[in-house]
Structure 1
Amino acid sequence: MIDPTLAADIREIASLQGTFRLRSGQISRTYFDKYRFEADPALLRRVANEMLPLLPADTEVLAGLELGGVPIATAVSLVTGLPAAFVRKEAKEYGTCLAVEGADVRGKRVVLIEDVITTGGAVADAARLVSAAGADIIGVVCAIWRGNGKPAIAALPDMPVTAAMTAADLGG
């Protein structure tokens, strides 16, 4: 069960009302501005702590998705001591020319870390890149699930997806 004070604090700082287009193309009257809680060290620490028990025991690397999953993966990494990798939306065209930076994921059991998931389109895109880098993706852990029903990603039907909070926990 989510810490009700955390849910209330996230709702207060990050829940915006209006008309918002989500990455999925859906229109929503409520938007969870994850950057507002990710930029607050105390809230970010509390979110990371809520995510810790959701990590599979055999996790070897945390892979934070650009951009919002990166600070969360870093915060979880600091607490667990697990190395972190950072997944770009596409390989950069300079320097290392990699889509997956940081910890080496090749041959490792990797958990994808995301901030807010509605349908999981960005997660499915990142999973392809992380798999192509040689990782064995064993799960997805997100801070907020705002999709319908139980957390799941249609494009990754066999992938376990867990969430620290849901839109219902946040009153949305």
Structure 2
Amino acid sequence: MTSPDPDLARDIDACCRLTGEFTLRSGQVAPEYFDKYLFEAQPGLLVRVAQQMVDLVPDETELLGGLELGGVPIATMVSSLTGRPALFVRKKAKEYGTCKLAEGPDVAGRRVTLIEDVITTGGAVRDATRALREAGAVVELVVCAIDRSPEGQNPLADVGLEVRPVLTKAELDAVRASG
């Protein structure tokens, strides 16, 4: 079991919070943006996030589904730490070769825990959940590095998905306010 990293929120916030005007995937305009690629490109921060995710992944998980693009390096690292196989979930099935949506082991009848970088409204996770379920996967949970949805709300309740974040926007805001 991994012990909590008390400095992770401060380090992630310092590394990847940008201020300005940003249009999010949902179409919302935000005054700040968490550029997850800035921490994912830093091996020391990436492994710290992945280590915190390990304890959030249920024991019954058979596959770790990293969502394109930001969830892929995190899922790869969590896979390495847990020994569970990774699955790489595209935004849409490729139109050539195998024409797969999810690269890796077959998902039919298997429990997949999704791995995502940042969730605001959950649009990409919702799409992936529906597509994986259509392929026969059992998808009930997403583990994310940062949940920036409004505190106390589950943006994925409509598809019956539990969200387990390593960090929330409230936690990142708290370290910003105390710093």
User: TM-score, length-normalised on structure 2?
Assistant: 0.90
Structure 2 residues not aligned, in runs of 5+: none
Q: Which residue of 1 aligns with 2:164?
A: 162
1:93 to 90, 95, 107: 95
Which residue identity lines up with residue 85 of structure 1 in the other structure? Answer: L
State the shift of 1:107 in Å.
1.1
Deviations 1:96-152 (A, max 9, x none): 101111122121111011000001111100111111222111211111000002352
2:87–2:105 CA contact under 8 A, matched in 1: yes
1:4 to 3, 6, 27: 6
1:43 to 45, 52, 65: 45
Q: Which residue of 2 aligns with 1:28?
A: 30
Deviations 1:15-64 (A, max 9, x none): 11111111111111111000011111111000001111111121110001
Residue aligned with 1:54, SS: coil
Which residue identity lines up with residue 81 of structure 1 in the other structure? Answer: G
Question: Counterparts of 1:24 and 1:56 in 2: how far apart (Å)?
Answer: 28
Segment drifting more, 142-151 vs 73-82: 142-151
Deviations 1:57-77 (A, max 9, x none): 211100010100111100000
Q: Which residue of 2 aligns with 1:106?
A: 108
Kindly report which structure 2 residues correspond to 1:9-158, keeping only aligned pairs within 5 A, or say none. Answer: 9-150=11-152, 152-154=154-156, 156-158=158-160
Over 3 Å counting, the alpha-carbon distance change for 1:157 and 1:129 in structure 2 is closer
Over 3 Å counting, the alpha-carbon distance change for 1:73 and 1:154 in structure 2 is closer
Question: Counterparts of 1:52 and 1:127 in 2: how far apart (Å)?
Answer: 20
User: TM-score, length-normalised on structure 1?
Assistant: 0.94
Which residue identity lines up with residue 121 of structure 1 in the other structure? Answer: G
Question: Counterparts of 1:135 and 1:30 in 2: how far apart (Å)?
Answer: 35
Question: Counterparts of 1:83 and 1:126 in 2: how far apart (Å)?
Answer: 18
State the shift of 1:156 in Å.
3.3
Which residue identity lines up with residue 18 of structure 1 in the other structure? Answer: G
Residue aligned with 1:51, SS: helix
How many residue pairs end up in the alignment? 172
- Could you list the structure 1 runs, at least 4 aligned residues long, displaced by more than 2 angstroms after superposition: 1-4, 153-158
Residue aligned with 1:24, SS: coil
State the shift of 1:4 in Å.
3.0
Segment drifting more, 13-22 vs 132-141: 132-141
